[in-house]
Structure 1
Amino acid sequence: MDNKTFGLRAWMEQLNRSELPAMAVVVHDLLRLAQSETASVGQLTDVLMRDAALATKVLRVSNSVYCNPGREVIKTLSRAVVVVGFDQVRMIGLSVSLLDGLLTQSPREQLQALLARSFHGAVQARNLAQYLDQRQQEEVFIATLLSHIGELAFWSHAGKQADRLAAALAEPGAEPDKVMRRELGVTFEQLTVGLLKTWNMGEIGQLVQASRTSDGPAARAVALGSNLAGRVAAAGWTDASVQALIEPVAELIGTDAEHAWQQLVSSGQEAVRVAGHCSNADLQQWIPRADDLPLDLSALLQMEVVPEVEQAPSERAPELEPETLLQPNLKLFKLSVDHLKLMVRAAMDVDTILNTLMQGLHRGAGIERVALMVLAEQKTQVRVRAAIGKGAQRWRDTFVLPCSGQPHVFSHALEQRDCLLLGGAEQGALNTLLTTEVVALVGSGPLVIAPVVAGSRRVGVLYGDMRLSGRELAQPQVTAFARMAELTGQCLQRLSQR
């Protein structure tokens, strides 16, 4: 029988003879910069430039549509920091170091699947941490990504012993811990603790350990992110085990279940997009997509008029009887989504795409006024290309806003990747984008906007409000709005390729 590595000490010696320690040094230094209040651009670029391949990959990711929707050509790391942001470039460096560093030796399926799951969990946990303490976001991200580092290192560097273990674990009735102790003399959990200690990842190691018992908010974010990614990978988004995590997430971030669910789905979609840029392997295929999840709009059927602050008679929203209020038509909304999905695969003309979009959001999702504002006059103006809802049709003749000068909500949306709900007290500084000119055109009150992007080309901004009745925009409506904006961009991109 050939010699094999057995026991914790032997495995630690073997793994620390590999390329892993060099990768750990980069991760450690990038994490140290995250914890420093005086970290400079020069220090960040110095760490990244130690490895030419890493620096090249960070530049490639920084030039991607996801990180750089304006498509400004970035040739240096210092310019990447200016365009993309210091924290984002550092996060890209961390992700690339870990993902490609572990995939160097072995692209086996077990490794790719676990890496994708770990990355998905890390994105989920980081986005939950932003509700708790933004200073801990990167620590939470790295702790979640490294919470399975022992198993990742094994599948990456164990060679033939990894093949034997995979075969043993595949046997009917195999108990993973018993099989590992028999075959390796150690568990993956022990390898994780040992590697983090060897790599001097003190605080990260403590956070990983605390996540096993959910000791503290940051540790709970790590645990929930990791658990969610594992359950989604095993059973899909609609499984009861995944749904069971919605309430704990809502409790952690201090919101309702609906918002918590949308946060998880949004983070899942982000993980799919980013994984495609941060690794040489196709990790996207291992993260279940949430694109086809049914949108729950049932709560919209019970929408009621929300009392507003007393206004002058000329400014007050018209009083409408409940039976005359626009109500969602869930069947029509689903039909509109299905038609847009078909048009992503088989291009149709612009008018058909926009008519489907307008009808789906207005009559389907029950949004009273909807419009698509597009870049015009050599991208110097924003004008209305399509509109629906009482009084909105006249915007095609009257609505004109310059793209230069004082920033406004539409120019801001063109620079963003996310759907935004504005006009409420909780939006704070963003409400300054509702300029006098904007209010003169669309009125005051809550509104939802989302950029429409066709590949790398910024087409315009999708706009919606409930100004006619004075009702609030419900979270499911905002979710529907964001999904339709994304699909419209995909349809227009497909049309441009025809």
Structure 2
Amino acid sequence: MTDLNNETHGLRSWLERLNRAELPAMAVVVHDLLRLSQSETASVAQLTEVLMRDAALASKVLRVSNSVYCNPGREVIKTLSRAVVVVGFDQVRMIGLSVSLLDGLLKNSPREQLQALLARSFHGAVQARNMAQYLNQRQQEEVFIATLLSHIGELAFWSHAGKTADRLVASLNEPGADPDKVLKREIGVTFDQLTVGLLKTWNMGEIGQLIQASRSSDGPAARAVALGSTLAERVAGKGWTHESVQALIEPVAELIGTDAEHAWQQLVGSGQEAVRIAGNCSNADLQQWIPRADDLPLDLSALLQMEVVPGTPSVDEVSAERKPEVEADPLLQPNLEMLKLSVDHLKLMARAPMDVDTILHTVMQGLHRGAGIERIALMVLAEQQTQFRVRTAIGKGTQRWRETFALPCGDGAKHIFGHVLAQRDCLWLGGPKSQELQSLVTPAVVELVGSGPFAIAPVIAGSRRVGVLYGDMRLSGRELSASQLAAFKRVAELTGLCLQRLSQR
């Protein structure tokens, strides 16, 4: 687009310019998907009809639906209707909303200001949406869109302003520059005014009203929008461990009706979820603009005791690089406090769902560091339920399982994994009582995990068979105690409940 700076000055002029761009087409898709979220009778056909209007959008939704984040069982999804069955109606709708907005804004000019602000807006939207699940299920999408669009005026400007944006950056970078005065001088309108104007012209006045209400935190939904936006802004500017971020824990706990520990877990889990969804839903590398929360402790007291030594990297800096897998100590001992904390977190996540990776991280840490079980793995049904594959594992030597483990399942493949899943029973293979089942520990199983005793339990999410949880003490040769086996069984049950709750969301 040619630069029209001489003509583009003031609210009306900028609205005309932006509405001549491709943004209105994006707004129509967002508006229609939002309308479906407000309808109690919305059908799969209506959802697929909206998404199929744009072949590129439909293709992107299918790609995201096939990602590990949305589809950990790796079932091949070829149609949008199948995506709704596997991933869920609400999840597919949210993917469509996210893809439409992110791609629509990033299409022309992925400048740094745009990417940073869009990543921050997206992080805030995920945070706000997950807070809203405690308030009113029907408002979740409205809260998500309101938070994501709360800076649409500025986003649209950086996306379509061309050379005018370059000049504005130079003016804003001048020493002592007042942002509001610079905006009035350079473009004749503030970004907030542009946001309100765009939403009105796009017939999204209700979302605009919710954004306006969030400025004064007028009502629970508006409060969720405000807290989500503020949290994302502070995390982006100062990192997760900054005191200004910690100051938001109590207000979030008060809003969602829980304690500070649970609220912190909710915020960290939502931060992890935002990073992973942003990586799947956008062509641009928005992940780099959202500080990672992977290595933050879920235990709030542990976070508050952390000390930052001057000159050393912060949690946010080191978590940008994935840390190597923690190898199990051959003399690993149970940590009952860690086990109790993990079980408590899983109970909370069974009521208020987190993303898959947060759930599985809690499972692995609880059984490995908490129960003291040396090697843990979750083997899930994959490839249209024809193979057991390792979804996640922890302990010395388990890295190769994630890369090479494949065990056929079905009528023609009889082994202990399939037996446990069919019988829905937790077993300890190694004692006298399990001798009659030793024939099911086939050479294929031994080749994959080695010979020796092990524990195995089914993971069932409602009526859906997810896979099996596996644990052994091969590194030291010890047997599992009765209390360790009880913890193993309980965590397997809670894993299924968490995944069932997640699929319902």
TM-score using structure 2 length? 0.67
Q: Greater shift after overlay, 202-211 or 98-107? A: 202-211
Q: 1:411 aligns with which of 454, 457, 460?
A: 460
CA distance in 2, matches of 1:37, 1:365: 42
CA contact (8 A) 1:4 1:161 kept: no
Q: 1:448 aligns with which of 471, 480, 491?
A: 491
In structure 2, the partner of 1:181 is 184
Is residue 2:368 matched to residue 1:365?
A: no
For residues 113 and 411 of structure 1, do their structure 2 counterparts lie closer, same or farther at Cα, with a shift above 3 Å needed? Answer: same
CA distance in 1, matches of 2:270, 2:35: 25
- Give the 5 Å matches for 1:478-497: none
Is residue 2:92 matched to residue 1:43?
A: no
Is residue 2:163 matched to residue 1:160?
A: yes
In structure 1, the partner of 2:67 is 64
CA distance in 1, matches of 2:91, 2:33: 12
Is residue 2:327 matched to residue 1:353?
A: yes
Whichever residue aligns with residue 256 of structure 1, its letter is: D
1:268-298 per-residue CA deviation (whole Å, 9 max, x = no partner) reads: 0000011000000000000000123245475
How many residues align? The count is 378
- Give the 5 Å matches for 1:120-159: 120-159=123-162
What is the DSSP-based 3-state SS (H/G/I as helix, E as strand, rest coil) of the residue aligned with 2:221? helix
Is residue 2:323 matched to residue 1:280?
A: no
In structure 2, the partner of 1:204 is 207
CA distance in 1, matches of 2:371, 2:483: 16
CA contact (8 A) 1:30 1:90 kept: yes
Q: Quote how far apart the aligned CAs of 1:56 are.
A: 0.6
CA contact (8 A) 1:297 1:365 kept: no
Q: 1:119 aligns with which of 107, 112, 122?
A: 122
Whichever residue aligns with residue 66 of structure 2, its letter is: N
CA contact (8 A) 1:70 1:415 kept: no
Q: Quote how far apart the aligned CAs of 1:134 are.
A: 1.0
1:83-112 per-residue CA deviation (whole Å, 9 max, x = no partner) reads: 111111111000000000000110000000
1:382-423 per-residue CA deviation (whole Å, 9 max, x = no partner) reads: 49xxxxxxxx99665468899xxxxx8623399679x9xxxx
In structure 1, the partner of 2:399 is none
CA distance in 2, matches of 1:131, 1:230: 22
CA contact (8 A) 1:370 1:462 kept: no
Q: Quote how far apart the aligned CAs of 1:63 are.
A: 0.5
In structure 1, the partner of 2:241 is 238
What is the DSSP-based 3-state SS (H/G/I as helix, E as strand, rest coil) of the residue aligned with 2:217? coil
- Give the 5 Å matches for 1:10-409: 10-294=13-297, 296=299, 353-355=327-329, 359=332, 362=335, 365=338, 369=371, 371=373, 372=376, 375=379, 378=408, 381-382=416-417, 397=431
CA distance in 1, matches of 2:300, 2:200: 48
CA contact (8 A) 1:118 1:148 kept: yes
CA distance in 1, matches of 2:40, 2:116: 36
Q: Greater shift after overlay, 268-277 or 290-299? A: 290-299
For residues 207 and 256 of structure 1, do their structure 2 counterparts lie closer, same or farther at Cα, with a shift above 3 Å needed? Answer: same
Whichever residue aligns with residue 90 of structure 1, its letter is: R
For residues 214 and 446 of structure 1, do their structure 2 counterparts lie closer, same or farther at Cα, with a shift above 3 Å needed? Answer: farther
CA distance in 2, matches of 1:192, 1:359: 56
CA contact (8 A) 2:261 2:300 kept: no
Whichever residue aligns with residue 412 of structure 1, its letter is: A
Q: Quote how far apart the aligned CAs of 1:206 are.
A: 1.1
CA contact (8 A) 2:44 2:89 kept: yes
Whichever residue aligns with residue 93 of structure 1, its letter is: G
Whichever residue aligns with residue 46 of structure 1, its letter is: E
CA contact (8 A) 2:30 2:101 kept: yes
Q: Quote how far apart the aligned CAs of 1:353 are.
A: 3.5
Once the two structures are aligned, what percentage of the paired residues are identical? 71
CA distance in 2, matches of 1:18, 1:259: 44
CA contact (8 A) 1:125 1:226 kept: yes
CA contact (8 A) 2:371 2:484 kept: no
CA distance in 1, matches of 2:13, 2:493: 54
1:168-224 per-residue CA deviation (whole Å, 9 max, x = no partner) reads: 111222221111011111000000000011000022111111111100000000000
CA distance in 1, matches of 2:20, 2:466: 45
CA contact (8 A) 2:460 2:496 kept: no
1:321-380 per-residue CA deviation (whole Å, 9 max, x = no partner) reads: xxxxxxxxxxxxxxxx9xxx9x97668xxxx83547x93763783566455365487456
What is the DSSP-based 3-state SS (H/G/I as helix, E as strand, rest coil) of the residue aligned with 1:30? helix
- Structure 2 gaps, min length 5: 304-314, 341-369, 380-387, 389-406, 410-414, 419-425, 441-456, 470-481, 499-505
In structure 1, the partner of 2:447 is none
Aligned-residue RMSD, C-alpha: 3.8
Q: Quote how far apart the aligned CAs of 1:135 are.
A: 1.1
CA contact (8 A) 2:268 2:298 kept: no
CA contact (8 A) 1:374 1:382 kept: no
TM-score using structure 1 length? 0.68
For residues 54 and 395 of structure 1, do their structure 2 counterparts lie closer, same or farther at Cα, with a shift above 3 Å needed? Answer: same
Q: Quote how far apart the aligned CAs of 1:37 are.
A: 1.2
What is the DSSP-based 3-state SS (H/G/I as helix, E as strand, rest coil) of the residue aligned with 1:6? coil
For residues 269 and 360 of structure 1, do their structure 2 counterparts lie closer, same or farther at Cα, with a shift above 3 Å needed? Answer: farther
- Structure 1 gaps, min length 5: 301-336, 384-391, 403-407, 420-438, 452-460, 464-477, 479-498
CA contact (8 A) 2:65 2:92 kept: yes
CA distance in 1, matches of 2:20, 2:272: 37
What is the DSSP-based 3-state SS (H/G/I as helix, E as strand, rest coil) of the residue aligned with 2:460? helix
CA distance in 2, matches of 1:268, 1:178: 34
What is the DSSP-based 3-state SS (H/G/I as helix, E as strand, rest coil) of the residue aligned with 1:281? coil
What is the DSSP-based 3-state SS (H/G/I as helix, E as strand, rest coil) of the residue aligned with 2:156? helix
CA distance in 1, matches of 2:209, 2:324: 52
